[in-house]
Amino acid sequence: MSKQEQLQQILSELKAALPELKEIIVASPDGLPVAQLAESEIATRLAAMAATAHGLGKRISTTTQLGNLQEIVIRGDQAYFLAYAIGDKGILGFTTPAGSNLGLVRLEAQEYARRLAEVL
């Protein structure tokens, strides 16, 4: 199985575990979509924004001595955007509706980010 197929398989498993997730992407650190369960136009934009948010989050974490950046959560009145570092090789990003069980989402996402890091 190719690396791309492995990434897609992991994203499909994440979606099966948390069906409420939408626009699931793996982005490169420079903002390009690497794998996705989203429309291509949305994935391209989301990958770029995830990389930008991740870069800013890393700078904030470093400046404020928080340690290594692990996650970014952006809360809107209708949904959340979450992004997880996949080592130094990428970012896992997705949206989930307001009212989602964030505790469960965060636990699952951390595990899937670890699995994605093994492939990347």
Split into its structural domains, the chain has a count of 1
Residue 1's pLDDT is what? Answer: 82
Residue 42, pLDDT score: 85
d(CA 23, CA 80): 11
Place of tokens 């992004």: 83
Cα 41 to its chain centre, rounded Å, is 17
Instruction: Per-residue pLDDT tens, the chain, 120 aa: give them.
Output: 888 899 999 999 999 999 999 899 999 999 999 998 877 788 899 999 999 999 999 999 999 999 888 899 999 999 999 999 998 889 999 999 998 999 999 999 999 999 999 998
Helices and strands, number each (H, E), in the chain: 3, 5
Q: Identify the pLDDT of residue 15.
A: 94
Q: State how far the Cα of 111 lies from the Cα of 14, in Å rounded to an integer.
A: 9
CATH number of the domain residue 52 falls in: 3.30.450.30
**The pTM of the whole model exceeds 0.85:** yes
**Using the 8-state DSSP alphabet, how is residue 20 labeled?**
T
- Give the residue numbers spanning the domain of 8: 3-119
